[in-house]
Amino acid sequence: MFPPAHEKTNRSRVAAAIMFAFAFPPTALILLGAAMRLPDGVEEIPSVLAGLPATVAMSLVVGWIFVLPACVGWAVLHQFDRHYWPASALLGSVTGLVFGSLLATFDDAPSKVAQVVLTIAAIGALTGLGVWWIAYGRQDRLPRPLVTLPPLAL
């Protein structure tokens, strides 16, 4: 169906992409919530921003439930050379849908369930695209393999 992907990566890029997968979603949720309250809740914004480091640290503790299955899906895509950016966005949005449906079970207002789930799915898609860009984008910055001459046959 699709030809194999030609992008390569290395371990440091994979580690940075996984850290991005832990840090970006809670940061985006907090900043989106603060932006939605901007006209009325201006006095709450400093306290929301002060809670960002704690939110990211908490994401490292409880976020593995969502990041680990996404990493497994990403590893399968990489193994079969199908790590395209649309597949990464799809994987991120599916992970976001799962997380959004979990959050929706705790919501008291059922009228906002679709809005919450779709917003978190969009954040998941952005996370998937960010992970792909960190791990596979900017191919010109990867170290080039050393080209050696074959030994002389004497």
For 140, phi then psi, to 5°, come to -70, -15
Instruction: Please give the Cα distance from 89 to 125 (Å, whole number).
Output: 5
Write down the pTM of the prediction.
0.75
Residues 6+ away with beta carbon under 8 Å from 81: 4, 5
Q: What is the pLDDT of residues 58-67, one digit of tens each?
A: 888 888 888 8
Confidence of residue 42 (pLDDT cuts 50, 70, 90): low
Domain definitions of the chain by residue range? 11-139
Residue 120, burial from CB neighbour count under 10 angstroms (0-12, 13-18, 19+): buried
Residue 141: per-residue pLDDT = 61
Residue 77: per-residue pLDDT = 81
Residue 3: per-residue pLDDT = 60
Q: What is the pLDDT of residues 92-136, one digit of tens each?
A: 899 888 888 887 787 667 677 777 788 888 888 999 889 888 888
Residue 83: per-residue pLDDT = 76
In sequence order, what E strands does the chain have? none
Give which of 74, 117, 114 is closest to 98, Cα–Cα: 117
User: Taking 70 as the threshold, does the pLDDT of residue 140 lie above it?
Assistant: no
